[in-house]
Amino acid sequence: MTTLRFPLSDRPEPQAAEAAHRLFSAGADFLKGVVAMDGLPDDDRVEVCFAGRSNVGKSTLINALTNRKGLARASNTPGRTQEINYFTLGDSHYLVDLPGYGFANAPVAVVRRWQDLLKTYLAGRAGLRRAFVLIDARHGVKDVDDEIMTLLDRSAVTFQAVLTKADKVKEKDREAVLAQVRGRLATHPAAFPEMVLTSSEKGWGLDTLRALIATLP
Ligand SMILES: Nc1nc2c(ncn2[C@@H]2O[C@H](COP(=O)(O)OP(=O)(O)OP(=O)(O)O)[C@@H](O)[C@H]2O)c(=O)[nH]1
């Protein structure tokens, strides 16, 4: 397994960096918000999706990756993003922002509807190459993250953990969080062992993540 330094040394291989530059300089745009399967766009692009607990920093990360401040709505109100939001990246990729899960006091019916939509989505997209499961670097993997990971295992969607807000983790706590995440990932057959450490605020890990997206097999 790759040893990760913290913060991550954010230098992808030159070819990957070049591919990332090409892809991300092609520009990102909001395409549509989807609430039901029949609203999904044509399945004709390389697709990656971002999942994570409410307030994990998903919108902020998508904005930072694409260099478009207002692209994904970032808010302080947990659980506002309740649709599957599709963004085009150049003319070859979709970035897909899944609704945040695990927010407090969500009505059971809302949670169930979300789970059903997610299951159908994960099972039904041929272009979906990878899911990124965002984990708050301060908190590590929670049970609700484990549930999503299990769903990804069952749907045979390979996924990778992306630790967010790494700038907020004290140096003395870093190794413990990494070890916890590593341990949980090891129990999921669809998980990549390598994680990506990010801070949208500091720009950590963004080039690595862009390069991963641009070079997906
Ligand atoms: N320090 C720090 N704060 C961050 C970072 N990324 C996001 N935040 C903050 O975390 C809060 C939540 O970020 P969002 O991007 O709205 O989170 P989200 O996951 O899209 O939330 P939902 O819409 O509820 O799903 C905001 O106050 C952000 O400013 C980061 O890398 N570092």
Do residues 192 and 89 make contact, with C-beta atoms less than 8 angstroms apart? Answer: no
The residue ranking higher by pLDDT, 72 or 41, is 41
pTM for the model stands at 0.92
Q: Is residue 1 in some structural domain?
A: no
Q: How much helix, strand and coil, in percent to the nearest 5, is found in the chain? A: 35, 20, 40
Cα separation of 183 and 189, whole Å?
12
Ligand 1, atom 26: closest residue by C-alpha: 76
- The mean pLDDT of the chain is 88
- The verdict on residue 177 lying in a domain is yes
The minimum-distance atom of ligand 1 relative to the CA of 202 is: 31
Q: Would the pLDDT of 1 be above 50?
A: no
Q: How many domains does the chain have?
A: 1
Give the domain extent around 142.
15-214
User: What's the first-to-final CA gap in the chain, in angstroms?
Assistant: 20
Residue 164 is assigned to a structural domain of this protein: yes
Please give the Cα distance from 74 to 81 (Å, whole number): 9
Taken in order 145, 119, 97, 216, the sign of the CA dihedral is: positive
Q: What is the ipTM of this complex?
A: 0.98
Pocket of ligand 1 (CB under 6 A): 52, 54-60, 74-76, 78-81, 100, 164-165, 167-168, 199-201
* Average pLDDT over every residue of 37-45: 93
Residue 126 lies in a domain: yes
200 contacts 209 by C-beta, under 8 angstroms: no
Domain-located, residue 86: yes
Say if 49 falls within a structural domain: yes
Question: Which of 18-27, 44-53, 114-123, 160-169 is predicted least confidently?
Answer: 114-123
Mean pLDDT within 106-122: 83
Mutate to test the pocket of ligand 1, among 49, 56, 60, 209 (most ligand atoms within 8 A of CB): 60
Residue 170, domain member (yes or no): yes
* 8 domain residue, yes or no: no
CATH number of the domain to which 149 belongs: 3.40.50.300
Q: Please determine, for residue 77, whether its predicted confidence score (pLDDT) is greater than 80.
A: no
Hey, CA dihedral for 35, 36, 38, 40, is it positive or negative?
positive
Q: Amino acid identity of 101?
A: Y
